[in-house]
Amino acid sequence: MTESTQRIAIVTGGSGGIGRAVAERLAADGMSVLVHYAGNPRRAEETVDAIVAAGGTATAFRADVADENEVAALFDEAERRYGGVDVVVHTAGIMLLAPLAELDLDDLDRMHRTNIRGTFVVDQQAARRVRSGGAIINFSTSVTKIALPGYTAYAASKGAVDAMTLILARELRGRDITVNAVAPGPTATPLFLEGKEQSVVDHMASMAPLERLGFPADIAEAVAFLAGPARWVNGQVLYANGGII
């Protein structure tokens, strides 16, 4: 850490859903936040405006998470504007669903590029640049354990994220940097709700003993824990799903 007590966070996919909730929560905890987005600058600016209106500090920056040059520029911007990087939360990802026997292989390749390569590229820059005392937080999914039909390719891509997370934590031995993943269960975001009949949503909400879907704020709470006080939690996948598994 530098002499400044201000911590700096990069949140990928910070323009909506869970990513926006995470960006707003970390800003509320006192961090300056660089809000990454891929293709919707208006939504990213809405996130920034909400953080600033609440008294926080944030700016937006566009990058393709699977492009190493653009991700390097994202980290460059955080260092140029705020002086360094302490927390990286990688929420950016895509979910394309179909049974294994029916999945279009182009969809498999798209998820591989964003969810696997994208995580690898972001983590690579994070491993090189996050300051001592920092945290790297990837995003997995509880579907790797729930094993819902139709999620094969998506869950496989997130299984790769789990592996990267556990091994990177050990590769950063001696750096005082934690590396963990958050694995949400069914969460009420546009990504999850889109295209689902209400009966399906109701069934998935009933799976948890708490008998509801998660909310983005629930997931942001887990991220804030790993990004702040949880210095003895390292190399773990934290399942945030209301007790489904």
| pLDDT 10s digits, 123-150 | 999 999 999 999 999 999 999 999 999 9
Q: How far apart are CA 172 and CA 161, in angstroms?
A: 16
pLDDT > 80? residue 4: no
The model's pTM is 0.96
- Whole-number pLDDT of residue 128: 98
Segment 19-75, tens digit of pLDDT: 999 999 999 999 999 999 999 999 999 999 999 999 999 999 999 999 999 999 999
Burial 37-75 (b: 16+ CB within 10 A, else e): bbeeeebbbbbbeebeeeebbbbbbebbbbeeebbbebb
pLDDT confidence band for 194 (50 / 70 / 90)? confident
Active-site option among 37, 82, 154, 239: 154
Q: Are strands 178-184 and 32-37 parallel, antiparallel or unpaired?
A: unpaired
- Whole-number pLDDT of residue 3: 41
pLDDT > 50? residue 111: yes
pLDDT > 50? residue 2: no
Verify whether residue 154 is a known catalytic residue: yes
**Token pair for residue 46?**
């809405």
Give the mean pLDDT of 141-160: 97
Lookup result for tokens 């069934």: 203
List, in order of start, the domains of the chain with CATH numbers. Answer: 8-238 (3.40.50.720)
Give the mean pLDDT of 118-125: 98
Give the mean pLDDT of 141-170: 97
**Token pair for residue 216?**
């983005």
pLDDT > 90? residue 213: yes
